[in-house]
Amino acid sequence: MNWKVEPNEDKSIIDSLSNELKVDTIISSMLVRRGITNYSQAKFFFRPSLNKLHDPFLMKDMNVAVERILSAIEKKESIMIYGDYDVDGTSSVALLSSYLKELGAICTYYIPDRNSEGYGISLKAIDLASSNNQRLVIALDCGIKAHSQVEYALNKKIDFIICDHHNPSETLPNALAVLNPKRQDCSYPFKELCGCGVGFKLVQAINLKKGNNIDKIVNYLDLVVLAIAADIVPITNENRILAHVGMQVINSNPRVGIHTILKNNNKKEFTISDLMFYVAPRINAAGRISHARLALQLLIEEDTDKAEKISRKVDELNTQRREIEKEITNEALGQIEKQVNKKHNSTVVFNKSWNKGVIGIVASRLIEKHYKPTIVFCKSSDGNLTASARSIKNVDLYKILEDCKDSIVQFGGHKYAAGLTIKESNFRLFKESFEKAVSFHINNKLPEPEMVIESKIKLDAITPKFFRILNQFEPFGPGNRTPIFISDGLSLDGSINKIGKDKEHVKLSVKQKATISFSAIGFWFSEKFDKIINQSSFSMAYTIDQNTWRGKTSVQLKIKDIK
């Protein structure tokens, strides 16, 4: 891993901001790198306020959507709320169905089966809506490319409202309303909402229409921040506000289902990382291994005992998911090792028996090992091949797949993650086409994996005040990444131990010039154990965290790399 230290910003601006805010220059330089150069900008950053949210009616078609929903509630129409099977989708359905029921709406919900129905709008759901005499379907976190499905619904006299955040095609589905800030004719100021974020804007708009204050719907922000964490959208602008307030809800009064998962994590206060690495995988596990309606039931359940029971089931599914994922990853790595031409700029692997629910995670694991745009295929129930694709820094996966669309049945997604379907007979053709498109986009030179370093600091800079202000940079994510620092001239201060079930992690204490020492932990660092012991001095890249053990909380360095 290359260590890329962020370039120095204008020293005069850093010094001026440091004096104005009365903070260390390390802190002020971090702010300047995030585009914050004066007091008012810093105030907005450190004190995100719901009052700064954009007017939801700036989103194209919002007024139409609100009027149709309120009309359905008034006329006692039954509404189908449809969502994708991942965290973003299930959180969206939980949010909108709970809110509309509060208003007296008659709602049913529908989450497609990942294996039998796949991603997007299901014709089976439309048929069910028709048979139940439902004349309105609200699709969340999907639907932006559901042209034929919407036409199918229109023929059955069913209105569609689409709330999505994925990239649209040149033409939009013929829905009654399409809420998506990424549509070309939408002037909404912030384009990077997640699916649940778009759903929340719809709730915000209805709430405004009914003359209510924003405080009326704050309790739904635990779902929004969970979706923001899971979908890895930029935590800037409006997302920062939603995530910041959402974490306050998580730490004060989260819904019962989220609480049943978090309470086993033995922490006093949770961060967005806890949602990303602890809650989201468990919510996702339901849709990956069983059916996502189990996750939805957990998110809408109000009875503690029932939520506990569902939570235990979800935890079991997550354990199964980890085992399946590990097995498939090993098989995929074996395929890569056997490839005759190992100089490819991309990785494409396939096994018809692989579990569709975990291939996206496997693709990410393969990138950790082989830093290349990666696609993992398995056999779909309709006879086609379905895949999850992941990319690497500065390589736009969506544009690459557009170049390969002649050999693709359908695809959708983002710059760094996508899903696609191809005919099995086209596998070799697609693989060649994908390799050619990747090679063209990177000009036959793969970028090297790198770790972006916030700044080089001395250990004695990590004072209680520094750590307190650093915590106020939360929530971290794209656009406001967790700062990684490096310190040179470190040495062991006492013993170093292997810990964990299989002794795969290391725990140690480091010091710098014997002035101060910190506890440090390196997850999956056991292979570097001997090298650390044998070095009298080393450099370390790390994040600054805290550890609670037996009721005592202390600052801990989380090792990212050692040289």
pLDDT in tens, 31-49: 999 999 999 999 999 999 9
The distance from CA 182 to its chain's CA centroid, rounded to whole angstroms, is: 18
Per-residue pLDDT tens digits for 291-331: 999 999 999 999 999 999 999 999 999 999 999 999 999 99
Per-residue pLDDT tens digits for 222-258: 999 999 999 888 999 999 999 999 999 999 999 999 9
Identify the DSSP state of 220.
Answer: G
Residue (of 434, 443, 427) closest to 347 by Cα position: 434
- 507 pLDDT band, cuts 50/70/90, is very high
CB 59 within 8 A of CB 51: no
**What is the fold of 339-441?**
Diaminopimelate Epimerase; Chain A, domain 1 (3.10.310)
Spell out the domain ranges in the chain. 56-305, 339-441, 451-562
Q: For residue 224, give both structure tokens.
A: 């929004």
Separation of alpha carbons 395 and 398, rounded Å: 9
pLDDT at residue 516, rounded to an integer = 84
Residue 449 pLDDT > 90: no
Per-residue pLDDT tens digits for 95-138: 999 999 999 999 999 999 887 887 889 999 999 999 999 999 99
Separation of alpha carbons 163 and 160, rounded Å: 10
- Find the helix packing angle between 280-289 and 304-338, rounded to 10°: 70
Rounded average pLDDT over 457-471: 93
Rounded average pLDDT over 477-490: 92
Residue 391 pLDDT > 90: yes
Rounded average pLDDT over 535-556: 85
Neighbour tally for 151: CB within 10 Å: 13
SS3 14: helix
Kindly report the CATH class assigned to 451-562: mainly beta
- 56-305 maps to which CATH number? 3.90.1640.30
CB 424 within 8 A of CB 383: yes
Separation of alpha carbons 326 and 362, rounded Å: 8
Torsion of CA 11, 16, 19, 20, to 10 degrees: -140
3-state SS of 467-528 is HHHHHCCCCCECCECCCCEEEEEEEEEEEEEEECCCCCEEEEEEEECCCEEEEEEECCCHHH
Identify the DSSP state of 263.
Answer: G
pTM value? 0.88
- 143 pLDDT band, cuts 50/70/90, is very high
- Find the helix packing angle between 280-289 and 221-231, rounded to 10°: 70
pLDDT at residue 169, rounded to an integer = 87
Rounded average pLDDT over 67-90: 96
> pLDDT above 90 covers what percent of the chain?
78
Residue 549 pLDDT > 80: no
- 77 pLDDT band, cuts 50/70/90, is very high
- 264 pLDDT band, cuts 50/70/90, is confident
- 340 pLDDT band, cuts 50/70/90, is low
In b/e form, how buried is each residue of 464-477, taking b as 16+ CB within 10 angstroms?
A: eebeebbeebbbbb
Identity at 159, one-letter amino acid code: D
